[in-house]
Amino acid sequence: MCCASDVFAGRSTFHLDEVHFPELSFMRLLLNSSIPLFPFFQSQDERYAFIAEWYDTNASLFRRYELLYYPKDGSVEMYDMKNRCRFLNRIKYEDLQFKDLFVGNKITIFSRHLNLVDYGDQYTSRMLGSRKERTLALLKPDVALKLGDVIDMIIRAGFTITKAKMTKVSRAEAIDFYADHQAKPYYNELLEFMTSGPVVAMEILGDDAISRWKNLLGPANSSVARTDAPNSVRACFGTDGIRNVAHGPDSFSSAARELELFFPSSGGRGPANTAKYTHCTCCVIKPHAVKEGLTGKIIKAILDGGFDISALQMFYMDRANAEEFYSIYKGVVAEYAEMVVELCSGPCVALEIRQVDPEKVFRDFCGPSDPEIARFLRPGTLRAIFGKNKIQNAVHCTDLPEDGLLEVQYFFNILDN
């Protein structure tokens, strides 16, 4: 006979219909698990379960946890799956939002960086898996000067940008991408246009994302869009049926295929970035600004300021990368440790900025590192407008002229490879 202590000691889940039948074997309990045991006894609050992975650098291995999230009060709870024990007692954690919880995302809980690799139970999968869709938002060459406006429009529509990369499409890649358009009379013109300049590929996530993104885009012909869907992306920024701002897949299978072209599931690099490594400096939109939906607004401000964004990519930094990138500040800046924690707390967006004497001009454009001082001395700067405090000050920019190229290379040459 199996006693309660056996169940608690040996596993973390059991099936509801077994509560009244303690004579069932432990093996049957183990094979028929479906509902977390500890949360069942502790609380009847609605909760969502995920399988999370953390890379233990000391042991050089991945450790798996069951992460439970309670939307009622924003609390979290964690269980070590290998050792079958509680890892983190239920505690309110305000830095984690419900919208951040989806398979494939990287989150941070008390400085521990976790990859959400799967749903933890059928309830969570049923409630969240069918609603959250991924699709491709491909911003075309004609959107270069309005890049910030379009990204901001996407964010304000409720989408989450989970991957982003500026790249240049080759003719062969364009032929592969637009294989379904070969019979169209505008096919050759479309290929010429798509290879004429950089594009920005983004994976966007949201409820019914495929259909909602198509609706936000509006009719393919921008002139028609201005009549039939005046608030759509193409109505606002498009020119005609070819130069129509952006592309969106029209089905789940198309979305999967097209995302694979730009963001291979194998973890491969995908198309090359567009970094030029000349007359450049580095800007990093910090994780807090990305989470707050400020990416588009910051990019718009940079472009409106007369700067050229020649490369763009979203990165998920781990602690080792963040410490390495900020190494010149170690022992020099009192906030070094907090800066590291912020940089690896979520996705950041790295930009290659180009202009004459870019390091000094762009550093002045960003303003003092303390937003309070910036708002007093230089109220029109990026940090004055978008920053919160010395750690969450919206953007990092290169401080030393000789480091501009090095920082750009760190992101677009080292990390991207």
Count: domains in the chain:
4
192 and 300 co-located in one domain: no
232 and 160 co-located in one domain: yes
What does the DSSP assignment read for 106-131? Answer: EEEETTEEEEEEEESSHHHIIIIITT
pLDDT band for position 265 (50/70/90)? Answer: confident
Residue 39 has pLDDT above 50, yes or no: no
Per-residue tokens: 383: 């940090």
Does a structural domain hold residue 268? no
295 and 179 co-located in one domain: no
223 and 238 co-located in one domain: yes
235 and 158 co-located in one domain: yes
Residue pLDDT, tens place only, 51-98:
999 988 788 888 999 999 999 999 999 999 999 999 999 999 988 888
105 and 120 co-located in one domain: yes
243 and 287 co-located in one domain: no
pLDDT score at 374: 97
Does a structural domain hold residue 298? yes
pLDDT score at 44: 63
362 and 407 co-located in one domain: yes
Nearest C-alpha neighbor of 293 from the set 73, 97, 69, 94: 97
Does a structural domain hold residue 13? yes
Q: Which entry of 247, 279, 288, 396 is annotated as an active-site residue?
A: 247
pTM, two decimal places = 0.82
187 and 216 co-located in one domain: yes
pLDDT score at 261: 92
Q: Which domain holds residue 95?
A: 42-129
End-to-end CA distance of the chain: 56
104 and 142 co-located in one domain: no
Does a structural domain hold residue 271? no
Give the dihedral of Cα atoms 281, 287, 291, 293; nearest 10 deg. -10
Does a structural domain hold residue 275? no
Q: Would you call 279 a catalytic residue per the annotation?
A: no
